[in-house]
Amino acid sequence: MRRETILPLLLSSMLCPAGGTDAGAYETNTDGSKVYGITGSPNRPAQNTSLDVDDALASQGFDAYYAADGLTSRDPVSGNTLVLKTSAGTSVGPVYAGYADFANAVGNTLVIESGFAQTEAAAGLVTTEGNAEDNAVLIYGGGVLGSDLDPDSYAKLIGGCTCDFFGIARNNSIDIYNGTFSHILIAGGCSLFGSAEENRVSIGNGSFSNAVIAGGCSELGSAQNNSVSISGGTFTNAVIAGGAAGGNYEDASATGNAVTISGAPVFDNVSLYGGLALGLEDGDSPAADLRSGNTLRIYDAANLRATSIANFSAYDFRLSNVAFENGASVLLIANSGGTTDLGRDPKFTVALSSGAGIASGRTAHLLTELSGAFKVNGALLADTPLKLAEGLTVTQGVSLEYQADIVASAQHVDVVFAGTAAKDADPEPEPQPAPRQDPEPEPQPEPAPAPQQEPAPEPAPQAKPEQKAAPGKKDEPKADPAPEQQDRAPQKKDGQDKGQEAKKET
């Protein structure tokens, strides 16, 4: 996918119509073009309703499907579920689980089991005023398709979206287990003017072509702490970004976001961004902060291939044994002679998967620039290695640690192991104090000379008034563990009983 095709995308074209929906009846609107599970009113909230879109319903040719439409209701549009389960290959119009005009869209769920949605699909959408929070999309098959005829027209798959000027899209999610997606923008949460926070997209499998995938996006606001996680699937002509924001606005930002790649997804012309600038023409410099706090994580993968990576400030790797094979690299970057900017003072963390120990001096390529060069702190790197981190602690499991350096040159960013493994569990002698404490109290009562204390009855008559006048001596054996006092205690008790009997006789 060409860069100039992706970056001019504006959220103003995303799921934000000029007005509300048609006033409709309980099942369809006035002209019969839309179907609803429920429509809200001041006396009837659009809540806790489900709509199954199957072959029977799809055959009636509706233009759009809504589990719930809030219409004029100010109550939250919440707890609604739409399930698309038409026959394989069948396509229907836009589908919405919760659609709100002047209310929050909260906790709605869109499920696609089979069949395809055209143009738009959203779990929670606010068109005028309100927040979109905790909405979820679950896709097990089927998918969402855009038009291959218009390269600037993209279908939209959104967890939760708000078009409110101050609206917040928070904690919305998309989980894709399988499916087909083309000419599409996929976002966990988006806000036209407000903030998109803590939204996520997780992909385990599927086919994605001509796709823009972002954890969260905002055109005029901030996209913070959003994430995209990919563990499988095939991606062709795709842009993957932790967060996206309008690049022409100084107040816009995409920070604190993360992209995590694990396993063995297949990439063909794929670019990875910590923060993606929306609305920029090719060659423009973004005014927004698109790098701070963004992290690229690659776990248990090797020989991944990306066209470019940009706008990350931290890089986190967990290496498998494959990463140490000759000629291997965790991520290969085919930048067509350009530069890959790693940022200012980039931070690196490395861990090892379970496996054989790593010898001192062993090296693994973390990043490899195939045709361009790396840039750090604004300067291109030369062939002379530059240490980006020294004495880095690399963990393996819970008990092994290594010392390593991060070394960068024009074409490679490497981890070089400089120390041997150390076992943290060996110096912890926690079990040893336990047996020492157990035998110490046991030998104390054993040498107690019980026979020597038997002649004690002679002073017993003298102890009669003492026992009676000072009953507090009963507490002494409990406070003093000395064996001699413990043995005398029952003898004094016998004398005390005899004194009480003599008193009764008198």
pLDDT in tens, 216-239: 999 888 999 999 999 999 999 999
DSSP 338-406: -EEE--SS-EEEEEE-SSS---TT-EEEEEEESSSEEEETTEE--SS-EEEEEEEEEEETTTEEEEEEE
Instruction: Round to whole Å and give the CA distance between 222 and 225.
Output: 10
Any idea which residue has 């926070």 for tokens? 197
**Pair (400, 490) in one structural domain:** no
Partnered with residue 406 across adjacent β-strands are 389, 415
Most confident of 136-150, 197-211, 380-394: 197-211
Model confidence at 340: pLDDT above 80: yes
Long-range contacts for 403-408 (Cβ within 8 Å, ≥24 apart)? 404/350, 406/348, 406/350, 406/366, 408/342, 408/374, 408/376, 408/381
Model confidence at 406: pLDDT above 80: yes
**Pair (342, 481) in one structural domain:** no
Instruction: Round to whole Å and give the CA distance between 84 and 78.
Output: 19
Sign of CA dihedral 124, 235, 226, 178: positive
Does 432 fall in a domain?
Answer: no
Does 38 fall in a domain?
Answer: yes
Query: Which residues fall within 8 angstroms of residue 288, CB to CB, at 6 or more apart?
Result: 245, 246, 247, 248, 249, 250, 251, 252, 253, 254, 275, 277
Residue-level pLDDT at 336: 66
Partnered with residue 304 across adjacent β-strands are 331
**Pair (488, 372) in one structural domain:** no
Instruction: Show the domain range for 401.
Output: 3-423
Question: Residue 66 carries which DSSP code?
Answer: E
Q: Contact 97/110 with Cβ under 8 angstroms?
A: yes
**Pair (473, 418) in one structural domain:** no
Coil, strand, or helix at residue 178? coil
Task: Report residue 4's pLDDT band, with 50, 70 and 90 as the boundaries.
Answer: very low
Does 171 fall in a domain?
Answer: yes
Phi, psi angle pair for 105, to nearest 5°: -110, 110
Task: Report residue 82's pLDDT band, with 50, 70 and 90 as the boundaries.
Answer: very high
Q: Last residue of some domain: 373, 403, 423?
A: 423
Does 366 fall in a domain?
Answer: yes
Q: Contact 321/362 with Cβ under 8 angstroms?
A: no
**Pair (325, 272) in one structural domain:** yes
Query: How many C-beta neighbours within 10 Å does residue 365 have?
Result: 20
**Can you tell me the mean pLDDT for 196-214?**
98
Residue-level pLDDT at 499: 45
Does 480 fall in a domain?
Answer: yes
Q: Contact 313/347 with Cβ under 8 angstroms?
A: yes
Q: What is the tens place of the pLDDT at every residue in 288-323?
A: 789 999 999 999 999 999 999 999 999 999 998 888
Tokens in use for 494?
A: 């016998």
Q: Contact 260/297 with Cβ under 8 angstroms?
A: yes
**Pair (140, 73) in one structural domain:** yes
Query: Which residues fall within 8 angstroms of residue 433, CB to CB, at 6 or more apart?
Result: none
Does 451 fall in a domain?
Answer: no
**Pair (211, 355) in one structural domain:** yes
Model confidence at 150: pLDDT above 60: yes
Q: Last residue of some domain: 408, 423, 438?
A: 423
**Can you tell me the mean pLDDT for 233-258?**
91
Coil, strand, or helix at residue 450? helix
Q: Last residue of some domain: 367, 402, 423?
A: 423
Model confidence at 379: pLDDT above 50: yes
**Pair (466, 419) in one structural domain:** no
Residue-level pLDDT at 19: 39
**Pair (500, 401) in one structural domain:** no
Does 384 fall in a domain?
Answer: yes
Q: Contact 191/215 with Cβ under 8 angstroms?
A: no
Lowest mean pLDDT of 2-6, 164-168, 342-346, 476-480, name the range: 2-6
Does 439 fall in a domain?
Answer: no
Tokens in use for 68?
A: 């719930």
Q: What is the tens place of the pLDDT at every residue in 355-378?
A: 766 877 889 999 999 988 999 998
**Pair (490, 380) in one structural domain:** no
**Pair (66, 179) in one structural domain:** yes
Q: State how many domains the chain has.
A: 2
**Pair (406, 480) in one structural domain:** no
